[in-house]
Amino acid sequence: MPENLLLAFGLTLFAGLATGIGSVLAFFTSTTNTKFLSLSLGFSAGVMIYVSMVEIFVKAQDSLVLALGEGLGKWMTVVGFFGGMVLIALIDKFIPKQGNPHELKKVEDMSKKPHDPALLKMGTFTAIAIAIHNFPEGIATFTSAIQDPTLGIAIATAIAIHNIPEGIAVSVPIYFATGSKKKAFKWSFLSGLSEPVGAVVAYLILMPYLNDVMFGIIFASVAGIMVFISLDELLPAAKKYDETHLPIYGLIGGMAVMAVSLLLFI
């Protein structure tokens, strides 16, 4: 059994269930702190981009070069990186538009009149879309934590931050449709469970084959997935919540914190 197995599962569970935090915020606060969300999403993007390009990509390349030689190893790293981007882009493409988890939702929307059945489909699709998105994120968190706990903690924290507004995105339309906070929370909570499911799949299917080549390809793909999510989801969402320079300040702050963390702990 890998030394960091329980920590890896715990971090993945923590990151996934942050969607429930978003749901709770929707129920127990009267307004959305858009500036805080914008700054947080920018921060999360900064962490993801920096750690992907400076740490994860480099580790993937080192592993593949060691196993395959310098020329082929570097090429495989690049292929894995963009392959990860293609994978998450395809997932995005086949999610129905009405279930798009990038759609901005605010806590204030909860005050609108509920029992709008037309929104049940939208809320359900949103939950499914987020679950699909969270699955590869679960694999990313798990494999990172297995290899390097400090890296896993950083990735889990960044993913957890961006899962909070996703929880709001699930809760609001389902509450509209049913008038039930309990059902809205349940769907939000369940959408996050696909992240630990991704960890279980990684453990059962990938772990037995985790040699230098497999590790390098997975890490390169994880780097691509995280950069894509940052550019396609986090930064646009941050700008929707606040159109000032806050998202960029958050981005720079996230990069700075990650840089210092890597210097101190890795």
Q: Which residue ranges make up the annotated binding site for Fe(2+)?
A: 134, 137, 163, 166, 195
For residues 153 and 145, the answer to whether their CB atoms sit within 8 Å is yes
Q: Which CA distances in Å does 216 have to 60, 61, 80?
A: 4, 6, 8
Q: Which residue ranges make up the annotated binding site for Zn(2+)?
A: 137, 162, 166
- Angle, alpha carbons 132-134-137 (nearest 5°): 125
Rg (CA), the chain: 18
| Backbone torsions φ then ψ of 170, nearest 5 degrees | -80, -45
DSSP 108-151: GGGGS----THHHHHHHHHHHHHHHHHHHHHHHHHHHHHH-HHH
